Amino acid sequence: MFDFTDRELKTAHDIRIIGAPFDGTVSFRPGARFGPAAIRHASDGLETWSPALNADLESIHYADGGDLELPMGDVALVLAIIREAVDECLNDGATPFLLGGEHLVSLPAIEAVFDRYPDLVVIQLDAHADQREDYLGVKLSHACVMRRVCELIGYDNVRQLGVRSGTRDEYTLMQRFQTQACLREESLAELVDWIGGRPVYLTVDLDVFDPSCMSGTGTPEPGGIDWWVFQRFITALQGCDMVGLDVVELAPQLDPSGCSSVLAAKAVREMLLMAGS
């Protein structure tokens, strides 16, 4: 029973939640625009206390900045509005935590964060590589977002976990640049070593979860992770310097049971506790 509203920013270590309800480039099944509202609603049924992290949201400084008003039909304008909101958040000394929306919303956020932190590393949890050059001729698409991110910050500074789908070309690319990492316990230790003291942007495409846990997403892909693998990952990253986070691609209307929204809200809770304490 936590909720994001009515919390005030207090210190420079605060986290600001920013809803980015956009799904305009989704090719298969839209609805990620309803993600932020569903996460807020589902958070009502969860406790503030995390037994796994031994921590409570009551002790974390975060605030919900509400949803951005994003004009469907004008992708460039949408990205500019998100960029501006993240810039403002950083100017205020707060860490941005985006709630998507589709995965493309991560791009302007990462651009803004990279501007401040030139040694940024990006950690991606995702079922899909998102490494296409373009999709039906469109380069600013949720199917291409990590390609754009890699072009911006360099393949060397990106790690992709949970990827199990892509074209042959995308797999060739990932192998050439060795961007893929593994979620096994020993691999997570290596990942944390690799990060070192560098600032981290963590982007979680919820389709990294198996569709059995997360049916409410536009492009489900069988063979994903379960909750405890995610929990272990979050625990492993405690202590890293998180400078930006997002959770994207929840399409709640595809899951009438509401369980996907509950899982997304719990993921947000654990990420807040990991980044904020």
Cα 242–237–150 angle (5° rounding)? 60
Residue 69 as a binder of its own copies (CB under 8 A): the answer is: yes
24: left (phi over 0), alpha (psi -120 to 50) or beta: alpha
In whole angstroms, give the CA distance from residue 113 to residue 198: 13
In whole angstroms, give the CA distance from residue 61 to residue 93: 12
Q: Which is nearer to its own copies, 117 or 230 (CB)?
A: 230
**Interacting span for its own copies (CB under 8 A) from 118-126, 146-154, 186-194, 261-269:** 261-269
Q: Which is nearer to its own copies, 60 or 243 (CB)?
A: 60
Residue 74 as a binder of its own copies (CB under 8 A): the answer is: yes
Residues in 147-186 at the binding interface with its own copies, rule: CB under 8 A: 164-168, 171
In whole angstroms, give the CA distance from residue 132 to residue 6: 40
Please compute Rg for the chain using Cα positions.
Answer: 17
- Candidates 16, 33, 103, 159; binder of its own copies (CB under 8 A) is 33
Residue 73 as a binder of its own copies (CB under 8 A): the answer is: yes
- 193 annotated as ligand-binding: no
Q: Are 40 and 88 in contact (CB under 8 A)?
A: no
- 87 annotated as ligand-binding: no
Residue 221 as a binder of its own copies (CB under 8 A): the answer is: yes
Among 20, 209, 28, 159, smallest CA distance to 102 is for: 20
- 130 annotated as ligand-binding: yes
Q: Residue 254 gets which letter from DSSP? A: G
Task: Please report, in range form, the residues annotated as the binding site for Mn(2+).
Answer: 103, 126, 128, 130, 205, 207
In the complex, the residues that contact its own copies under the rule CB under 8 A are: 23-31, 33, 37, 41, 44-49, 51, 56, 69, 71-75, 77, 104, 135-138, 140-141, 164-168, 171, 210-213, 215-216, 219-223, 226-228, 231, 253-259, 262-263, 266
